[in-house]
Amino acid sequence: MAMSISGEPILDGRYQLEKRLGQGGMGVVYKARHIFLKTAHAIKIILPDLVGNDPNLVTRFRQEALAAAAIRHQNIIAVTDFGVVRGTMPFLVMEFVQGKSLQDIMAEEGAMSPVRAFELMQPICAGIAAAHRQGIVHRDLKPLNVMICDELPVAEAVKILDFGLAKIKSGELLGSFIAAQTTGLMGSPFYMAPEQWSDEPPDARADVYSLGVMLFQMLCGEVPFKGSSIPSIMKKHLTSDVPSFASKGIEVPPQIEAVVRHALEKEAHHRTPSADEFAKELREAMSLASARLKRTADSAAIDPSKTIVGPAPAHETVPPTGTTTAFDPNAGTISAASLDEEAQKTLFAQRELAREAAAKKKLAAEDEQKRQTEEQKKQQEEAAREKERKQLEEIVAAQTKVRDHRRRQFDRKRCANFPASRRRADSKKEVSTPNRFGDRVGCAGRRWCWRLLHFERTQAFAGWPNEAARRFKGCSDQG
């Protein structure tokens, strides 16, 4: 099975298998994509070992898949397609949802409060009741078959899985499946009603029993009947009384415990008759009581979410009852026409995938070309900015040079205007002359030096009349 699927990723010429999500006792679940519609799906492929040469396989499987697809409810995973590959490999196509299973949530939260359990149980009951109105019984309800979608209100987030495999699991659909496996036990023994352990055909009340077990587990943190082997679990379901919540260290209002016990009655005619009635009783109990739970019991020794396949008994296999079909030596064989048709569908799907790959490649090339164009444009803009910056620098340098030249000319002209008597040296003979402090200076330095000497001399002569007047006054005072 794994080799055939891995070697042939296109299923039925329409679905491309992308990755494996999980495997159970019935088959393998893949995440797939519709090649033409580009939509995501979850595909459950029944193991070929469970399917033999059944001439009515396609007809029976189609009837069951159509019945499951007829259930339209927000709390049930929709079955969108089905098929049988090469006459031996049935598969169901379902909507793909992202989220966690109820089993994972219970493992994280442990024993829940009555309000939390009621919040989750209401949409579960609504989905089961919708299926029962269509005449379909799930037969394998368990927390692992309930998904809680992300980022949705709880009333819409709850999704029930595996309705399309109800009769397959019970052994009423595939005749060869019965001969191969269902002479033993196949199911989830922790959640199976007592009548499912016998030859009696289960009805809607079997699902109600499973709902009661799930509610008990939500409130208590463990299933009511545990055991180390399948016979011990079966014996407890058939003969043992339902343990009280107090014996598990849990405080639950008696009204809610009464609802659980009513759903877990051994005799089907004493049990809650329908999922709608179960939800109604739970609502009434919640309106009458509230409680605070405290979990003290230990966890279960066996994983209650695991589907267990027991060994077949050693006695002779009993053929299935119901529709009788004469033995056909050609049953299960594949005709050349069907092979050609399947080959054509596969070829068409491969062409579509090739076209899609070419479109993706073309789109990637366009994106790369666009990126290169933008990068080239960016480089050109940077080069233009760099060129403009250099031009500005050259202009500034030229203007600075002209300004410095004009300043030097102005300084020389100013120096030439000083009287010759004030010059200490001929500027034509020396490039620079020493000032009064012994430093050598140029034209600008000489100019400032002459100005300093002129200032000092002016101040000296400016103070002379005062001094002469003082002396003259002193002389006159003495005289």
Catalytically annotated residues: 140
Residue 389, both tokens: 């910056």
Six-digit token pair at 456?
């000092």
The angle formed by the CA atoms of residues 396, 401 and 405, to the nearest 5 degrees, is 150
Cβ atoms of 156 and 118 closer than 8 Å: no
Asked if 44 contacts 27 with a C-beta cutoff of 8 angstroms, the reply is yes
DSSP bridge partners of 22: 29
SS3 203: coil
- Tell me the C-alpha distance between 420 and 362, whole Å: 89
Instruction: Using DSSP, state whether 440 is helix, strand or coil.
Output: strand
Q: 3-state class of 318 per DSSP? A: coil
- Report the C-alpha gap between 104 and 466 in whole angstroms: 111
Give the Cα separation of 236 and 238 in Å (integer): 5
Count of CA atoms in the C-beta half-sphere (13 A) of 374: 6
Closest CA to 237 of 209, 256, 200, 272: 209
The amino acid at residue 54 is D
Which of 187, 263, 185, 186 has its CA nearest to residue 218? 263
Amino acid sitting at position 83: G
Give dist(CA 228, CA 21) in Å, integer: 28
DSSP line for 56-105? THHHHHHHHHHHHHT---TTB--EEEEEEETTTEEEEEEE---EEEHHHH
Long-range pairs, 236-244, Cβ under 8 A, ≥24: 237/189, 237/192, 237/193, 237/194, 237/197, 238/194, 238/197, 238/266, 242/216
- Dihedral pair phi/psi, residue 415, rounded to 5°: -65, -35
Residue 131 half-sphere exposure toward CB, CA atoms < 13 A? 34
